[in-house]
A and B are shown apart, each in its own frame.
Chain A
Amino acid sequence: MSKEKMSGMFGFEFLDDVRRMNKRQLYYQVLNFGMIVSSALMIWKGLMVVTGSESPIVVVLSGSMEPAFHRGDLLFLTNYQEEPIRVGEIVVFKVEGRDIPIVHRVLKVHEKDDGHVRFLTKGDNNSVDDRGLYAPGQLWLEKKDVVGRARGFVPYVGIVTILMNDYPKFKYAILACLGLFVLIHRE
């Protein structure tokens, strides 16, 4: 009796559920799993269309915008081309030769009459502007460098992503657990 209780406590009992399933139920579970994955993908791609940004949700990875944004905070981005870029805005931009986009604030804007705009950014927590972060020889950012502009903010939510990036094993463990749970869980 006590042995059974122990195995129940560590969750091995649920394997009985799988044993009791017939083929139909198993197919159903696999399809269900596929549904979850594809709807997540659909939501992501749908958000891309609505916001016009290639990555509508980003996690803050550095402390260069503290105390506004800390590591692990979540930002919602939009990138509507008709909206002009102005100082004070928080933009997410890509720099040639860097994989990870940077979230910083616009410090200077020079716009020509044909709409061509050059701008310079700076992190709130940095003492100098971003020219040292740009590609060698690059002095200004242009509209094509922008991935999005920050519109909404939720704290802490992205901390899981940071943990997963820092500890890849943790990522695989979580993915395996979720996958297993969805596949064998029976309502």
Chain B
Amino acid sequence: MNTFLSRLNTIFAFTLSVMAGLTFCCFLTTAFNEHKAPVYIGTGKAIVKNVPDYSATREKNDLGFVVFDMQADLSRIFNWNVKQLFLYLTAEYETKDHVLNQVVIWDKIIKRGENSVLDYRSSNTKYYFWDYGNGLKGNNNVTLTLSWNVIPNAGTLPKIRGEGSHKFKFPNEYSTNRL
């Protein structure tokens, strides 16, 4: 049955299996990478307000404001099977109601080939730092960590926490003036 169609079929099937094999090999070459890097994080003055959250329940919740410094060199994480890094700066803290709160206050996408050396000074947060309730006032143990989600061309999607974190506290009084 050496028709034109069966030849086409064979070529197509062979191409597909070769591509699948190569993709898998590409994944294997980077499967055991650690993707780690040191990160420096610092913060400026933090203030907290108690204002209604009109994007949600309209009840008064704690809203934190903080400026941060951050330096990290992530260029060594990139290789031929890293399409992009998704960076996110997480504030992690404990409150009376919740044993664990995690709020992403800043994120950034770095595609391969783009600048992967971070240097931020007194940077504002990208997202509002809303607490669920009133747990930010006087909270003296808020930890900032930078993590990244490695997006490969093909393969697993590891979530890596950067080496280095920063703790800061919120004041015991609500701030009432405008920013």
Contact = CB atoms under 8 A, between A and B. Distances in A.
A141 interface: no
Using C-beta atoms within 8 Å of the partner chain, give the interface range for chain A. Answer: 20 to 34
Contact of B104 (A10, A87, A111, A151): A87
Contacts of A143: none
Give the secondary structure class of A's interface. mixed
B156 interface: yes
Contacts of B152: 153
Given A87-B102, A88-B90, A131-B56, A112 B3 contact: no
Contacts of B5: 9-11
B176 interface: no
B159 A109 contact: no
Given A14-B3, A86-B102, A86-B159, 14 more contacts: A8-B3, A67-B111, A68-B83, A68-B86, A87-B90, A88-B159, A108-B104, A108-B130, A110-B132, A112-B97, A131-B56, A150-B157, A154-B23, A155-B154
Interface residues of B, number: 36
Contacts of A90: 149, 157
Interface string A152-180: 11110000000000000000000000000
A109 B155 contact: no
Interface string A110-136: 111100001000001000000100000
B136 to A, nearest CB: 13
Interface in A78-110: 86-90, 105, 107-110
A13 B98 contact: no
